[in-house]
Amino acid sequence: MSKVAKCPTCGSNSKIKEIDGKISYEAVQDDEAFKKIGQLKKAMEKFKAKAEQLQEELEILKAETK
C-alpha cells in the first residue's frame, strides 16, 4: 500500500516510494484518486485486523486439538 504525504518541494499530496534509501515523491493529481487511496487504506487495515483475528482463532483451535 502506498504511503501518501505532502511533497516537501511543491506541497502537493504525493505517493512516497523508498528505493535504495532514496525517497521519491510522485504527485497525486486528482482529489478523487487521493480520497480513493484513503478509502482503500482503511479497507486494507480492516481486512488485516480480521485476518489477524482469524489467525489467532486458528492457532487456538490447533492448540486445543493437540
Q: What integer pLDDT is reported at residue 51 of this predicted model?
A: 96
Q: What's the sign of the alpha-carbon dihedral 14, 19, 23, 24?
A: negative
**Higher local confidence (pLDDT), 66 or 43:** 43
Cell of 6: 505532502
**In this predicted model, what pLDDT tens digit does every residue of 7-56 receive, in sequence order?**
888 877 788 888 888 888 887 777 777 788 889 999 999 999 999 999 99
Q: What integer pLDDT is reported at residue 60 of this predicted model?
A: 93
Residue 13, burial from CB neighbour count under 10 angstroms (0-12, 13-18, 19+): middle
Cβ of 37: how many Cβ atoms within 10 Å?
Answer: 17
Q: What integer pLDDT is reported at residue 45 of this predicted model?
A: 95
Q: Could you tell me which residues are beta bridge partners of residue 25?
A: 16
For the chain, domain boundaries: 3-65
Q: What integer pLDDT is reported at residue 35 of this predicted model?
A: 82
